[in-house]
Structure 1
């Protein structure tokens, strides 16, 4: 049994559970990023992973996938943001690195299964939501293929985060009280916007109202998302109530942001979503009624999948939603089962 050991409490408990169940566990630590600026936690996580393996008493090995990560995750993410989209690097990482390059490597090394500390369940080849709804990670796992899923183990799927911490403390694991990592590793302590500025060429531009009146300046259209209400550099505007402002349009070519105080502005309305890069975990006939999710731990919206030619799918929502961006992933569920998903490439208000 190969286990991805990240240096955190979740993967540590995963390895411990499998060892106690009698599996011959071999730990692998993935290096996905080389950080000259020392902003990433690679070094400390590496040391923690080695300490965990030593404490549990399992072999430990390091695999370097930094080149694959840069090509398949980092570059895709930068290209997406440069075009004004909102890509999801976590889904890319699972799709192209953890459960592709890493998975293929451990299979070639002779391991029957790969286990990770993800919160999800597998039942007869189906990907099911974790028992801990707040920690459920099936959204990020939507792009795994069926063959890979049949060789995966997610021991934490039946546990809550509180129970995982309890197991770690009861067994005095060295990372029992270690804080969970948040966000993308290579961003470090910087804001995500500050990180993007290092890689994306942008310039200040106008923030305008619907009537074209300029009310402020932004520091780059690509750093903002549709429906965003935080971080908009406008103060009180004469003649308007003291209410939140929302970004309702990104004019990439003109370098203009349009704002409104209407969170359900017609420009934000979405009734149909077109997806490409489709992945099915369990294929269902179309049209098919599903619940679709646009963000991790987001609201599940009732919708119908409508297949089209050229491997795209239109998702028709029962009721309109607001503030969907190109590049996000639309993931579809049949109640607790994740059926698959696709990258959003177009939206329609009707």
Structure 2
């Protein structure tokens, strides 16, 4: 009897081809479209309607059952509320990581199990393997597309029920397969950014939910250089969009966001690549280890604290209620609220939100 897989179909090329690969592997595939956001964009367009139509077209062409499920309430309660809360604190969250943990591999997983599924699957570029010590999350083979970073907060039990059929493929091959099957999604561009914001202006979107609190932009000495629109709109290390590029002050080098002074509502900037931008370590209070059978602390490993960055060598120390990540070399623009993800080679060990940045150790 075939194993049943419930596949999250987003209307994109990746999940479309995932359906083909799962069929080739002998699974019984059921496609499900998740609607996680109700709001239309500034042009009055609900992009999920087009995505739903494309996903339905692919499922129909491949001859697989297709359903839609609405997780908008769960998404708002578990992901969007977290997103707003983090921005209120002056932090820069990663809601996509939380969406995978709380929606795609929790709410969706529960729904799939109600359909009698043996596994859930998505179009993520990552790999999961099952060993005698439990499930392990691995990077996808396409270094440019690997999405293990976004799956790093999943736990071992979630991974036991998960399949990632694209993990052994490069993106170019996925496009080729889509063309071979003449799928409507074959040339569809990849979605970018946060799903509920889409292509719209980020500042405009965020201002609908959080009040603007303009204030001063100051340098390290406290000298006022300009005005900011609200601390929530800026992130550590940001260079563009500060509006002070033509100031006659300083040495002519570009300005970077160095720190947010929430108490005084000031945005502190630094000119040039200065020490204030660099950190020696970080603290995370919610570091989740995916599979504790293969990990012990202190841990020598590599980490990422942004999706698009090379791994950096570090040591992770476990204290009573937090983990401390100590970099071998100082790192630039480590940002509170972002996710630090740890790896042992190609194995993703786990992740946590950055709660505190440590300088000068």
Task: Give the TM-score taking structure 2 as reference length.
Answer: 0.93
| 1:56 equivalenced with 2:45 (yes/no) | no
User: Hey, what does 1:199 align to over in structure 2?
Assistant: 209
Deviation at 1:241, TM superposition (A): 3.2
User: Hey, what does 1:296 align to over in structure 2?
Assistant: 307
Quote the Cα distance in structure 2 between the aligned partners of 1:280 and 1:83: 25
Residues 23-38 of structure 1 mapped to structure 2, 5 A cutoff = 23-37=27-41, 38=44
| 1:339 equivalenced with 2:349 (yes/no) | yes
| 1:287 equivalenced with 2:293 (yes/no) | no
User: Hey, what does 2:92 align to over in structure 1?
Assistant: 86
Quote the Cα distance in structure 1 between the aligned partners of 2:46 and 2:285: 32
Gap change, CA 1:11 and 1:240, over 3 Å in 2: same
Deviation at 1:239, TM superposition (A): 4.5
SS of 2:69's equivalent in the other structure is strand
- Contact 2:125-2:148 within 8 A present in 1 as well: yes
Residues 177-196 of structure 1 mapped to structure 2, 5 A cutoff = 177-196=187-206
| 1:158 equivalenced with 2:172 (yes/no) | no
- Contact 1:41-1:185 within 8 A present in 2 as well: no
- Contact 2:253-2:272 within 8 A present in 1 as well: no
Deviation at 1:198, TM superposition (A): 1.2
Gap change, CA 1:142 and 1:252, over 3 Å in 2: same
User: Hey, what does 1:134 align to over in structure 2?
Assistant: 144
Quote the Cα distance in structure 1 between the aligned partners of 2:172 and 2:79: 31
Quote the Cα distance in structure 1 between the aligned partners of 2:168 and 2:331: 32
| 1:306 equivalenced with 2:310 (yes/no) | no
Quote the Cα distance in structure 1 between the aligned partners of 2:249 and 2:39: 49
Quote the Cα distance in structure 2 between the aligned partners of 1:328 and 1:68: 22
Deviation at 1:80, TM superposition (A): 0.4
User: Hey, what does 1:113 align to over in structure 2?
Assistant: 119
Quote the Cα distance in structure 2 between the aligned partners of 1:174 and 1:189: 21
Deviation at 1:271, TM superposition (A): 1.1
Which one of 263, 283, 298 corresponds to residue 274 of structure 1?
A: 283
CA offsets per residue over residues 283-308 of structure 1, 9 Å max, x none? 21101101011011312111111111
Structure 2 spans left out of the alignment, 5+ residues: none
Which one of 207, 215, 222 corresponds to residue 212 of structure 1?
A: 222
Quote the Cα distance in structure 2 between the aligned partners of 1:80 and 1:224: 13
Quote the Cα distance in structure 2 between the aligned partners of 1:79 and 1:54: 41
Quote the Cα distance in structure 2 between the aligned partners of 1:277 and 1:191: 31
Structure 1 spans left out of the alignment, 5+ residues: none
Task: Report runs of 4+ in structure 1 exceeding 6 Å deviation.
Answer: none
- Mean CA deviation greater in 186-195 or 215-224: 186-195
SS of 1:105's equivalent in the other structure is helix
- Mean CA deviation greater in 28-37 or 6-15: 28-37
- Contact 1:14-1:155 within 8 A present in 2 as well: yes
User: Hey, what does 1:318 align to over in structure 2?
Assistant: 328
- Contact 1:274-1:347 within 8 A present in 2 as well: yes
Two-structure CA RMSD over aligned residues (Å): 1.3
Gap change, CA 1:39 and 1:84, over 3 Å in 2: farther
